[in-house]
Amino acid sequence: MSVNTEQLFDRQIVTQISQSQEEPTWMLQKRLAALDEAAKLSLPKLEKTRIDRWNFTSFDPYRGEEALTTIDTLPENVRQFVSAEKEDHVFVQKNSSPVYQQLSADLKEKGVIFTDIATAAREHGDLVQKHFMTDGINPNEHRLAALHTALFSGGLLLYVPKNVAVELPFQALFWASGKGVGNFPHVLVVLETGANASIIANFVSDEDSDAVVNGAFEVFLGDNARLSVASLHTHGEETTEVAYRRTVVGRDAHLDWTVGDLNGGRTISDNTTHMQGSGSNGEIKAITVGAGEQRSNITSTFHHWGTHTETNIVARGVMLDAAQTILNGVTKIEKGATKANGVQAEKVLMLSPEARGDANPILLIDENDVQAGHAASVGKIDPIQMFYLMSRGLSRRQAERLVIFGFVGPVLDTIPFDSLRERITDVIEGKLSS
């Protein structure tokens, strides 16, 4: 691997981004250090997907946008992703700028923070410095992580103090708009001991967008905390998206992750959770639908460190046209994580002769006293199943729909947000009928 020692981006651009957001000095230093690293580091190595010719560097890294006075000025196809009733907690970012924020006085009073990262870094510096690109994602992991650290803009911190329970889900919307933009959304979620919350993050773009999206999602769950978190991605066909997500789970904490990779374009999606605290349990539900010439590489990982940790990965991919996906599931149990139990199942359904899918279950176990199990399958719709359904009067189309929604059902039916389930259903319907 040859090392490119030239800067990928000008230090001045990075400095401008930082200064325009009035960031503390430590953050600018962190950005500049990462920028230097980005030139030296290689791209991440992905199982069975070549990404060396994907566009990760050609774009306009900063595009500022005007704040919105009301959320109703968003175009309907973007607006539909959030509910903004008076009591809702909402954050909207367009390209590089946070443009709308809404949090009830009640939650502010309880110490809940739900704001952009620059503001958070000014007002709660220690908190952000402790968690931003440290124990979650390391800026030096690979070139894309370093680039994200150097160029991120806007971004969001959700902080829920000890024993505070928030009923309504926090909603975040990241919108890539216009040609030639690079978007670097960053979501940082910190739940203290015994806190209880849920958050849905939507990543969308204009239909004709050619955005390069390099996002990061870092989650820290304190002891006995509970979090349901969902990340829904519906970028257009010409986009390229990289999304790295890391979660660190405390003792007896409970995590429920839903990832909907429903982009139209190239997608790298990596969701890794460290089950640090003993007695914690976690679930990852991942769903992807590919169409056209789309390529995607989707990895769900649970890393067991604590004893009595329990995890479950359920992943489903539906591939249309000439789309290809690699669906990886990794359950890694460290020595000492006794009584851990990790199970996973990845399945791909191919709806056309040109579609391709790969389901890779990987169990890495360094401890004897554990349980683990996996299942994987890749297949086409069974013509005998179709015959059976059609023999009861269902049209070919109806029968196909039933089989497909039955196939994604184990993921879809367990998503803890009704609205999200409906939206995912709509997106799948849209992909199937186009």
Distance CA 328, CA 321 (A): 21
Contact status: 398 vs another protein (CB under 8 A): yes
- Smallest gap from Cβ 255 to another protein, in A, equals 24
Q: Which of 13, 28, 168, 403 binds another protein (CB under 8 A)?
A: 403
Q: What tokens does 61 get?
A: 């890294």
Site for another protein in 412-431 (CB under 8 A): 413
Whose Cβ is closer to another protein: residue 183's or residue 344's? Answer: 344
Q: Which of 139, 136, 120, 123 is nearest to 29 (CA)?
A: 139
- Smallest gap from Cβ 260 to another protein, in A, equals 17
How far from chain centre, in Å, is Cα 394?
37
The answer to whether the CB of 197 falls within 8 A of the CB of 220 is no
DSSP-assigned letter for residue 246: E
Contact status: 388 vs another protein (CB under 8 A): yes
Q: Give the DSSP H or E segment for 16.
A: helix 11-20
Q: Give the DSSP H or E segment for 143.
A: helix 143-151
Q: Which of 146, 408, 415, 427 binds another protein (CB under 8 A)?
A: 408
Q: Which of 271, 209, 217 is nearest to 240 (CA)?
A: 209
Contact status: 399 vs another protein (CB under 8 A): yes
Contact status: 318 vs another protein (CB under 8 A): no
The answer to whether the CB of 157 falls within 8 A of the CB of 128 is yes
The answer to whether the CB of 292 falls within 8 A of the CB of 264 is yes
Site for another protein in 246-275 (CB under 8 A): none
Whose Cβ is closer to another protein: residue 366's or residue 413's? Answer: 413
Contact status: 392 vs another protein (CB under 8 A): yes
Would you list the DSSP string of 333-347? E-TT-TT-EEEEEEE
- Smallest gap from Cβ 348 to another protein, in A, equals 14
Contact status: 317 vs another protein (CB under 8 A): no
Q: Give the DSSP H or E segment for 312.
A: strand 310-319
- Smallest gap from Cβ 65 to another protein, in A, equals 41
Binding mask 345-384 for another protein (x = CB under 8 A): -------------------------------------xxx
Contact status: 385 vs another protein (CB under 8 A): yes
Site residues for another protein per CB under 8 A: 382-385, 387-396, 398-399, 402-403, 405-410, 413
